[in-house]
Structure 1
Amino acid sequence: MSHWSLTTDFCRTMLRLSTTLVLAATCLLLSKGVATEMVVTCDVNRVHRLSCDTGVISVQTALYGRADSETCGEGRPPSELGNTECSQEGTADVLKRRCDGKKVCEVSGNDFGTPDPCVDTFKYLQTKYTCLPAIHHVTCEHSWAYLDCDEGQVISIYGATYGRNDHTTCTYRQPASQIQNIDCSQPASGVSTSCNGKNSCIVKVDSSMFEDPCVGTYKYLEVAYICEYPSTIPKESANHQSQGSPQPGSSKSMLSFTLSTTLLLAATCSRMTAVVSAERVITCSGGGNVQHLSCDSGVISVQGALYGRTDKKTCSKGTPRRQLANTKCSQKGTLDVLKSRCNGKTECELNLKVVLTSDPCRGISKYLDTNYTCFPANHIVACENSLAHLQCDEGQVIFVYGADYGRRDQTTCTFSQRASVIKNDACSNPTSKVADSCNGKNSCTIRASNSVFGDPCVGTYKYLEVAYICEYPGVIPQQLPKH
């Protein structure tokens, strides 16, 4: 079984051993400012992936070209590495437009390179970005979005959009015709109206709640918000209520982040003191619907999952009463499916067809109801032929809990990739090589490639997935239990 299988016993052990340190390290990191991340992709035909464990992406700099003779220089002749003053104009603008305000963003190196800034020089794409503090939620169409704050705090929406602006979000096993339109997204001001000032809020995600910006496209709701104490809601947030919420990534949205950094940091650390946050997603019946689980901080640990029906109210709109009658309907094995698919990831998507192995109650309208927690850990993904950078604060060292190389879904590292190279999602091997290379170091760079990890599935485009924490030297937690 993969290192990613987080059992209850392991969670309890890990919480006892380093909860205080994880929280202290995280809040220490936040108190110093916003951490800078870097992604380098060597092969322009591959996927360049940015992601934030906490908050949303804000691109700082981006380079397509070459700035030194070492980066991505393995196996290349000196003649292709000599020009170290090679850069294409406008690269940062492209990355900002595509990625700012998102939790995860994938682009293809093929989006760059025209015109070629330096013919005959081997180029790479390098992006430096920060993760601005915010809670980020993505909910696929025909699901319910649950926004929640700690006791005594209230929701303040910074931005919400409904539609589609990429080929990867909420796409698991969706027909190509329903995800090809990525210029389909508009502000969803109704979220601010419904949720601002409340401790928790539930929003139905479909075109009856929001105006349909693109009929025939499978859409999703994307929300960025913070939790604040009622007396400290910033004026900027109040302006958003009256003017409508800006799109995540817009200048107005980014400005709001800078206006209340201190408050955001306090809210983030306050929220983290609960250690493990409980989340819930309900996706209504329909074999083509997608359930999306995500963690703003840490990794997913599924606690409970039900496919069936336990009440007459959930997912009942427009459904005949006879299809709601059986409230003791559940399919066996649903929890196991969710655990194997999602545990250890920061985001997980699955089509409801995955759990439709049998019909537990014919003639009854069913739904998938998943409860999960977000377990404290740093999580990074590096697409094949990119460099994974693990980084801790000064004085701290890396401790790797688990790493896998391969592919276990059809959404990660897929942008502009052929269907034939991403269809095998049962191809992932645990590896100890990341721990061997990085444990005990303050920072570590490792290449996600077959030459380092071997090839678990020839012909499949793969990625490296790592979960790690930062510890002070001498305080080493127990190893991940073997299964």
Structure 2
Amino acid sequence: MPSSLLRSALVLAAVCCLTNAESVITCEGRMQRLSCDEGVISVLKVAYGRTDRQTCSEGRPPAQLANTACSQKGALEALASRCNGRKVCEVDKRIFGGDPCYGTYKYTQTTYTCLTANHVVACELSTAELICEQEEVIKVIGAFYGRNDRTTCIYGRPNKQIEKVTCLSTTATSTVAKSCDGKRRCTVYAVNSKFGDPCYGTFKYLELAYTCESPTNTSGTMLSSLLHSALVLAALCCLTYAENINITCGKNKQRLSCDDGVISVLKVAYGWTDEETCKEDNSSEQLANTAGALEALANRCNGKIVCEVDKEIFHGDPSPDTYKYIQTTYTCLAARHNVTCENGKAELSCEQEEVIKVIGAFYGRNDRTTCAENHRDKVNKVNCVNTTATSTVAKSCDGKPRCTVDATNDVFGDPCPGIYKYLEVAYTCECPF
């Protein structure tokens, strides 16, 4: 019976992970791109060098293909430390730090899989909160601190602070793992004092992925240890957790995001509720709480895939001398997501015998990439929002099987004249009462 159970667990792990493995070959001089539509990257095998004369051989002289025993040591560790736990990772040969066979034309062959895990992004000077259920502990898959794109954590930032995208701390994974592995709850500050400053003057972010595991029973037998490892591997591939908590200190920007589905805000605290949270940035005498935060943040973020905000959305500070923070609990709902550029028409539709239920709507601009083609001179303002978009769309569409909404200033007003805007709507289809 035990051997049968172990075999079943190992089969589950193999079926779950190996069938999803991808192999990518990139010829020397080009960027290799790994990505996961669902889950996060876990690198399994890496070879940098040359092991045959056929791969990446087109147009190359025989002398550059002759050495088929060329392999860079430490390639797996180098690539895994850069990419594990991320949704998208782009690298080139420089990460391997050497040339295993000068004069040979080389390539990188990477095998990786996508693990289902908790994925967290915290903008610089904000806080990443890692939480597991009772009787489970954190296991860090990978972490990244720096900047690798021009879209993450850009709210309110000038172009010069987001233009450098080859910027990373090489010790982020080990730093977070050392702080958090084996704990049920862990707070990590996305600050240079913890990770170093890999690119001075660039606004950075912390991206990490982790799973929640049962603590290892060190007094068990070899069989129970093997069984535990197999079940953990299966869990990495097959489990996910719904609730996210984001804590942002002081004047910093808060970023909520969903890899799958859209944001639904559950709880918000703007103020101060204990003496531990954000304690590095305040004095213990500064204590207060602020009401009305849930409605303000939900109106801004519900139904979006990514939402970046700061304290200005709360429209006032009832206690100016008090140091406050934003603590948001949210989940990701499976929903239909529609983006329509300004002057277009959003089409919302459900199957027969179902009707529309609007989760959230946004009209304005919150990034520099959505609906930007042919309008590059009209996308520079990114904190532009109509605060009544959700109620406007819901009033028009809730309870109908089909609905058309014009993405125009006539319908929503003009929150930012001269800026090219878009309408973003998330909705579900429900059976009518």
Confirm whether residue 228 of structure 1 aligns to residue 213 of structure 2. Answer: yes
Q: Structure 1 residue 283: deviation in Å?
A: 1.4
1:303 aligned residue (258, 261, 266):
266
How well do the aligned residues superpose, as a CA RMSD in angstroms?
4.6
Alignment of 1:385-400 (within 5 A): none
Change (3 A) 1:185 1:378: farther
CA shift digits 1:104-127 (9 cap, x unpaired): 99xxxxxxxxxxxxxxxxxxxxxx
Confirm whether residue 352 of structure 1 aligns to residue 315 of structure 2. Answer: no
Equivalent residue number for residue 406 of structure 2: 454
Q: Secondary structure at the match of 1:317?
A: helix
Equivalent residue number for residue 179 of structure 1: 162
Change (3 A) 1:193 1:477: farther
2:235 aligned residue (263, 272, 285):
263
Letter of the structure 2 residue corresponding to residue 182 of structure 1? V
Q: Structure 1 residue 338: deviation in Å?
A: 0.9
TM-score normalized by structure 1? 0.52
Change (3 A) 1:103 1:344: farther
Equivalent residue number for residue 149 of structure 1: 132
Equivalent residues of 1:421, 1:460 under 8 A apart? yes
Change (3 A) 1:409 1:157: farther
In structure 1, how many angstroms separate the alpha carbons of the residues matched to 2:117 and 2:194? 24
Q: Structure 1 residue 298: deviation in Å?
A: 4.4
Equivalent residues of 1:413, 1:463 under 8 A apart? no
Confirm whether residue 209 of structure 1 aligns to residue 216 of structure 2. Answer: no
Equivalent residues of 1:161, 1:185 under 8 A apart? yes
Equivalent residues of 2:39, 2:117 under 8 A apart? yes
CA shift digits 1:178-230 (9 cap, x unpaired): 22222222341201222223322211111111111111222110012222333
CA shift digits 1:401-431 (9 cap, x unpaired): 4377763551384478646346442284527
In structure 2, how many angstroms separate the alpha carbons of the residues matched to 1:387 and 1:219? 36
Letter of the structure 2 residue corresponding to residue 465 of structure 1? V
Equivalent residue number for residue 289 of structure 2: 330
Letter of the structure 2 residue corresponding to residue 264 of structure 1? L
Equivalent residues of 1:283, 1:368 under 8 A apart? yes
Equivalent residue number for residue 54 of structure 2: none
Equivalent residue number for residue 244 of structure 2: 279
Change (3 A) 1:332 1:420: farther
In structure 2, how many angstroms separate the alpha carbons of the residues matched to 1:296 and 1:453? 26
Change (3 A) 1:263 1:331: closer
Letter of the structure 2 residue corresponding to residue 315 of structure 1? C
Q: Structure 1 residue 377: deviation in Å?
A: 1.9
Change (3 A) 1:383 1:103: farther
Percent identity among equivalent residues? 35
Change (3 A) 1:332 1:227: closer
Change (3 A) 1:387 1:408: closer
CA shift digits 1:300-355 (9 cap, x unpaired): 33333333333444323264x4xx4132x233433321121112334321023333
Change (3 A) 1:460 1:55: same
Q: Secondary structure at the match of 1:208?
A: helix
Confirm whether residue 293 of structure 1 aligns to residue 256 of structure 2. Answer: yes
Equivalent residue number for residue 4 of structure 1: none
CA shift digits 1:67-87 (9 cap, x unpaired): xxxxxxxxxxxxxxxxxxxxx
Change (3 A) 1:232 1:315: same
Q: Structure 1 residue 368: deviation in Å?
A: 2.5
CA shift digits 1:282-306 (9 cap, x unpaired): 21112xx210123455443333333
Equivalent residue number for residue 219 of structure 1: 204
In structure 1, how many angstroms separate the alpha carbons of the residues matched to 2:399 and 2:210? 34
In structure 2, how many angstroms separate the alpha carbons of the residues matched to 1:226 and 1:404? 29
Letter of the structure 2 residue corresponding to residue 279 of structure 1? N
- Larger RCO, structure (CA 8 Å, separation 6 or more): 1
Return 213-222 or 342-351, whichever deviates more. Answer: 342-351
Equivalent residues of 2:300, 2:362 under 8 A apart? no
| Structure of higher CA gyration radius | 2
Equivalent residues of 1:285, 1:368 under 8 A apart? yes
Return 146-155 or 216-225, whichever deviates more. Answer: 146-155
Count of matched residue positions in the alignment of Structure 1 and Structure 2: 307
Confirm whether residue 407 of structure 1 aligns to residue 379 of structure 2. Answer: no
Equivalent residues of 2:116, 2:238 under 8 A apart? no
Letter of the structure 1 residue corresponding to residue 215 of structure 2? P
Equivalent residue number for residue 5 of structure 2: none
In structure 1, how many angstroms separate the alpha carbons of the residues matched to 2:233 and 2:368? 31
Change (3 A) 1:161 1:400: farther
